Chains A and B, each alone.
Chain A
Amino acid sequence: MTPSRYDRLEAAKPMIECREVHKYYGDYHALRGIDLTIRAGEFFSLLGPSGCGKTTLLRTIAGFEDITSGVVLIDNKDMAGVAANHRPTNMVFQSYAIFPHLTVAENVGFGLRRDPRSRAEKAAAVEEALAMVGLKGYGARASHALSGGQRQRVALARALILKPKVLLLDEPLSALDRKMREQMQVELIKLQRQVGITFVLVTHDQEEALVMSDRIAVMFEGQIAQLDGPEALYARPASRRVADFIGVMNFLPTRIIGDTPNGVEVDLPGFGRVEIPAANISRANPDDEGPTVGFRPEAVSIVSTGAPTQSRVTEGTIDEVVYYGDMTYYDVRLDGSDGFGAKVRPIRIAMRNVFGREVQEVGARANVSWSPGSLVLFR
């Protein structure tokens, strides 16, 4: 059996290593001790809100910013004192930075100026790079006449033609419209699999990071809050803040009853006594709001009365209905959900509108089906 992509990446050698990287801009502490290993061939994302230091980290890897302290290794070489033009990295800029006075081919071939190959060989390399990004035959065009998606492709070809060890992408899709963005996401994944180069993507769009990455580092205030694969990140966020940033999550206050052999037993308003499995317990809860249980809107569902289910069922009343076409969001107030002296907000439930399933109305009674495995405890 051939090893899965995940296993292969697990075994791959480290390509980028950051050790205790700090960066100050004057008094401003932009990077606060980044420790990070990105493996060769990985599609890695730095995800976070604006101002979290993700772009700064990318630029320190590229060599555009000096670090105040710490070590950055690329392919086992210390990058201290190595300028951007001598690093084995190339960058796709947020604005694409296409040189407007040059043609498409001149843009793509820009990095080959110091290449000893003959003119014809370079032209062939440019044509090959253009074909790779789906712009075959565009070489003679003026670069300023290109659309956003085409500029993006030119920027990719221009960076990849140098066969860098690492391709750095600074919010490359943020300037595109939604359709184009989704198309480019898929193309970027395919391209990365094809060339096998390590990709490091900076994005503030959690969906984009989840779609494209092998692993994601979520950053807040110059620190990495969680580093995980997309599924683990979504299902088991390490803190409320990460959970809040990635997708929608319901949070309910809870009281811890005690440890059990397989996890922790809690008293959850509206749900009763629940045993949360050990794997779903996050002890990193800096938000300091007391123990909280979180779950995704699609981790619970509304089932018709009497339907056979292997999950546990709780009853409630529908408070609000928001119809999205493919999905309907219900806010449901669970019976007996006001607990611990606080008014608990209704929980949000996402239901796919499959054929034959009626959209419920406000005020209707609802049976909510759930299982302890989809709950996460932040304590």
Chain B
Amino acid sequence: MKGRGLHVYALCYLLFLYAPILLLPIFAFNNGTVISFPLKGFTTQWFVQAFENATLRRAVMNSLIIAVSSSVFATCLGIFAARASTRFEFPGKGPMMGLIMLPLVLPEIIVSISLLVVLLSMGITLNIFTVIIGHTLICMPYATVILTTAFNSLDRSLEEAAYDLGETKWSAFRLVILPLVMPGVISSLLMSFTISLDEFIIAFFLAGNEPTLPTYIFSQLRFPKQTPTIMALGTVLVVMSIILLTFAEYFRRRGNARTGANNTGGFL
């Protein structure tokens, strides 16, 4: 059969990518502390343990606050950058956009250490706010790219038409531009949220004494007894991600259908 080799290749590739994730729920419900086959029996105690762990709850809370805040900040700043770069010509535009995109290629460890030095020399106490600053910085390039694409696909005369029909610049933006770039805004929020949620290095350097999800999980890996709890936590995160992406995709498709736009790909 034609292309059989490619099929096998694709299958192996997918297996390699996703099989480890399938192991998460299997061991999360396994009644035993050792992560190995054969399985010992069904239990939900690891979920209960995870839920009752106060430090874990705090880490989850911190991570959520950080991820929501930095995705909102990065998306707002991304809207400004995307709007400016698609709509206006100004001196230094190229270098400026380049600087916004720079964190994409800078090693995170460099970003974290530089930020740490600056923040400490300014006498700022390290807590989740410093992590939010760092995460906003690294999410900005992604937000800007996604939003620039969204703004670029807009017909410029749409805005002029709203303006021509008596709206102010701001109300034209709110009534016409914003609804039309909304799929991009949602994509940007989701992307930034995901990046921030599992970011380790910046959180490790800038969080001070506050735990975040990745730093907490890392710290617990030293204790083998905690491993099943981490598995349970991982399972919850995977389920939440799937639900979140499903919602996002649903709204994206509905938005596309409403404006008759072509389906230009999304998450799923």
| Chain A residues close to B by CB (< 8 Å) | 62, 64, 83-85, 89-91, 93-95, 97, 99-101, 110-111, 113-114, 142, 144-145, 158-159, 162
Q: Are B166 and A100 in contact (CB under 8 A)?
A: no
Q: Does B245 contact A (CB under 8 A)?
A: no
Q: Are A84 and B160 in contact (CB under 8 A)?
A: yes
Q: Are A110 and B162 in contact (CB under 8 A)?
A: yes
Pick the residue among A85, A97, A100 that contacts B157 (CB under 8 A): A97
**Mask for B155-193, Cβ within 8 A of A = 1, else 0?**
101101111111110000001100110000000000000
Assess A101 versus B259: contact at CB under 8 Å? Given A84-B164, A91-B164, A158-B165. yes
Q: Are B161 and A114 in contact (CB under 8 A)?
A: no
Assess A101 versus B180: contact at CB under 8 Å? Given A85-B167, A114-B166, A162-B165. yes
Pick the residue among A85, A100, A145 that contacts B180 (CB under 8 A): A100
Assess A93 versus B161: contact at CB under 8 Å? Given A85-B166, A99-B176, A162-B166. yes
Q: Are B163 and A85 in contact (CB under 8 A)?
A: yes
Task: Give 7 A-B contacts (CB < 8 Å), ordered by A residue.
Answer: A64-B163, A91-B160, A93-B157, A93-B161, A97-B155, A158-B161, A162-B166
The 5 lowest CB-CB distance pairs between A and B, nearest first, are A144-B260, A111-B165, A97-B161, A100-B259, A97-B157
CA distance A90 to B259 in the complex (A): 24
B176 contacts across to A, CB distance below 8 A: 99
Tell me the minimal C-beta distance from B87 to chain A in angstroms. Answer: 13
A159 contacts across to B, CB distance below 8 A: 164-165
Residue from A83, A93, A158, A159 with most neighbouring chain B CB atoms (10 Å):
A93
Assess A100 versus B163: contact at CB under 8 Å? Given A94-B157, A95-B155, A95-B157. no
Q: Are A64 and B167 in contact (CB under 8 A)?
A: no
Tell me the minimal C-beta distance from A49 to chain B in angstroms. Answer: 21
Q: Are A100 and B260 in contact (CB under 8 A)?
A: yes
Q: Are B164 and A62 in contact (CB under 8 A)?
A: yes
Q: Are A113 and B167 in contact (CB under 8 A)?
A: yes
Pick the residue among A83, A99, A101, A144 that contacts B161 (CB under 8 A): A99
B2 contacts across to A, CB distance below 8 A: none
Q: Are B260 and A99 in contact (CB under 8 A)?
A: no
Q: Are B165 and A110 in contact (CB under 8 A)?
A: yes
Q: Does B7 contact A (CB under 8 A)?
A: no
A95 contacts across to B, CB distance below 8 A: 155, 157
Tell me the minimal C-beta distance from B169 to chain A in angstroms. Answer: 8
